[in-house]
Amino acid sequence: MAKEELLHTMVEHLDIKRVNVVPLIEMMGQTAFQARNLARAAQIADAMVADPEATVILTLAGSLISAGQKGVILDLLRCNAVDAIVSTGANIVDQDFFEALGFRHYQGNPFADDNALREQMIDRIYDTYIDEEELRICDETIRVIADTLEPGVYSSREFIQAMGAYLAEHHPDAESIVLEAYRRDVPIFVPAFSDCSAGFGLVAHQVVHPDRHVSIDSVKDFRELTAIKVWAGTTGLLMIGGGVPKNFVQDIVVSAEFLGYEAAMHQYAVQLTVADERDGALSGSTLKEANSWGKVSLAQEQMVFGEATVTFPLLAGYVYHKGNWRERQPRSWARALASGRLLDYAAATAHAQK
């Protein structure tokens, strides 16, 4: 098949506003197994959004945007149900920013001839296709953004802020998580920032500018996110998948304690995953296990073992249609971080002792 025939049917993004799933979730709560777990998880997610003192941190792993989940995340941002995001680079750069530049993901075939796809510069994510030639434009755009910044060390949050500013100037009508978060002062952290298209663009930038260039400091990410934990006090985690984002955001409790603060464990925690706990890996480790490390409270926690493109829209739809977000005030953590106020150790210590 010709390339244009393979890249024909676009992946469409879900709109949780169109279907009120609250009655379905409530019925699932009267059943068993993962249906009942999902219902309890949805109730915990709604509780953290309804808590006026809680900062809600969303983590994203796996391939979510390419699978039609961007609209779900945008709706959560637009109803102030998310205060910070910790993600893999693929979701934020290769997929969301990629689409904001005007490109799309396409429905494909998991049984396709991958060698034939490679020869046509088509990348496959299970049953989804991406045009590699377009993806390289995304890589190049990251290099262009890096070239415009003052040489120095940046957190991924600061660089993604610059990506949001780029979109606001060049693609102001894009349906984009990066752009929406930029406009709403919601910080996005990507701890493994080089492990995506951003890495290719930044390598090219540093090769051209070997002595004065932009570099990304993951420790700065960790410090900034720890500062949010110290200042926020009560925190809730909504974790889609596992991986680096899950561990990174859980560890900020320990980081705050190591700095001498009396930081409470995450009071709310939900994880949607297909990973198995029995191999000892992080992605499948239970939230009860995280309690032994002093990271997550057992008061309101729930694991749901199910594929996220099924469970996430249902949970988010429940939160949206329950409507408890309507009284919620934005936290504007990105603005507070940019001001430097959150990183003032003396001020943070005084705040934590209140």
Amino acid at 245: P
Tokens representing 212?
């004065």
Amino acid, single-letter form, for residue 210: P
What DSSP element (H or E) covers 277? none
Q: Is 246 a catalytic residue?
A: no
Q: What's the residue count for the chain?
A: 354
Is residue 259 packed enough to be buried (19+ CB in 10 Å), middle (13-18) or exposed (0-12)? middle
The catalytic position among 70, 229, 246, 295 is 295
CB 131 within 8 A of CB 66: no
> Who contacts 299 (Cβ-Cβ below 8 Å, separation ≥6)?
267
The DSSP result for 50-116, as a single string, is H-TTPEEEEEE-SS-GGGT-HHHHHHHHHTT--SEEEE-HIIIIIIIIHHHTT---EE--TTS-HHH
Torsion sign across C-alpha atoms 173, 176, 181, 182: negative
**296-305, strands of its sheet edge to edge:** 188-189, 84-87, 55-60, 235-240, 266-273, 296-305
The distance from CA 42 to its chain's CA centroid, rounded to whole angstroms, is 18
The token duo for 164 is 């949001």
Q: How remote is the C-alpha of 229 from its chain's centroid?
A: 17
Residues whose CB falls within 8 Å of the CB of residue 227, separated by 6 or more in sequence, listed in order? 337, 342, 343, 348
E strand residue ranges, the chain: 55-60, 84-87, 106-107, 122-125, 128-131, 152-154, 188-189, 214-216, 235-240, 266-273, 296-305
CA distance 259 to 203: 33
Which of 18, 50, 59, 24 is CA-nearest to residue 39?
A: 24
Q: Give me the active site residues, please.
A: 295
